[in-house]
Amino acid sequence: MSYKDRIHACADYDADDFIPFMVDVAQVGRIRRTFVPCLQAFADVFIITDDAVALSPDLDTYDRRTAAMIPVLNQFRDEGLVPGWRDEPYSAGIAFSAPALFEMERAAVPLFGVRGYGVHMNGFVRDGDAISMWIGKRSLSKPTGPGKLDQMVAGGQPVGMGLKDNLIKECAEEAGIPEDIAARAKPVGTITYVTDRTEGLRDDELFNFDLEVPIDFTPQNTDGEVDDFYLWPIGKVAERVQTTEDFKFNAALVVIDFLVRHGEIDADHPDYSDIIAGLHH
């Protein structure tokens, strides 16, 4: 196993298995071809051709598109096609910085291959020159990656909230981090990936943050989404990412990005260039 294996696990899809999902002339997602027949019952919502699925041009505003998607997704939920329903609205559009075209239930985002966004925070401690990282173990009740290892704090990006505000909220819920400490988290870039998973196409952009926490701070989960926390030397974290599949698929990439930025993966590493490129698909 290697760091490249972790990256390749987040770049595992066949483009021929999907067709574009369009709003007007903008592509907002990709839908698995085998799922397209499930949309045919909603002729007032979707225009289906051999080459694409498009929202009806009659749905010409944010509110109309959002309202039209609600009964579609509710039916798919009732049919068991949208596992892990969260009642969390997510924006759908062509880019994070572009105006959203509609909103939809978070759990259904991969079903339509719409780009998803999230915040991930590396919580770490310094003791002299040594770095240790706080690792969370995801609750076994989580719909995605139950029991997998994860960042100290991570969460999806909901409608109507800024990235830093969302991170501070997640810090309180997932790790009991006070707002004055959470506010010190520094944005350190993004990673992107596209991968075919059971829930659909995960086309994600993760906004990453680093937070150096006080050496005497111990995280405490408050929302039931984390079963345990571990403070590991960075070498142990690197070894687990490199040689096992213990980390959630995207959390492994966030750790790799941290290792690169902090010099734990040296420029002389034989896969260095491939690792850098692989974090940004």
Per-residue pLDDT of 192-238, as tens digits, reads: 999 999 999 999 999 999 999 999 999 999 998 899 999 999 999 99
pTM above 0.75, yes or no: yes
Q: Which amino acid is at 31?
A: I
Residue 144: pLDDT over 90: no
Beta strand 18-23 pairing with 53-55: parallel
Residue extents of the structural domains in the chain: 3-11+116-278, 15-112
What is the residue-wise DSSP string for 211-251? EE--TT-----SSS-EEEEEEEEHHHHHHHHHH-S-B-HHH
Residue 280 DSSP class: B
Q: Each residue of 10-54: pLDDT tens digit?
A: 999 999 999 999 999 999 999 999 999 999 999 999 999 999 999
Residue 123: pLDDT over 80: yes
Class of domain 3-11+116-278: alpha beta
Report percent pLDDT > 70 for the chain: 100
Class of domain 15-112: alpha beta
- At 181, which helix (H) or strand (E)? helix 179-182
- At 138, which helix (H) or strand (E)? strand 130-138
∠ CA 170-176-182, nearest 5°, is 60
What is the residue-wise DSSP string for 38-84? GGTT-TTTEEE-SS-EEE-TT--SHHHHHHHHHHHHHHHHHTT-STT
The predicted structure's pLDDT at residue 257 = 98
If you search the block for the tokens 């790799």, which residue do you land on? Answer: 256
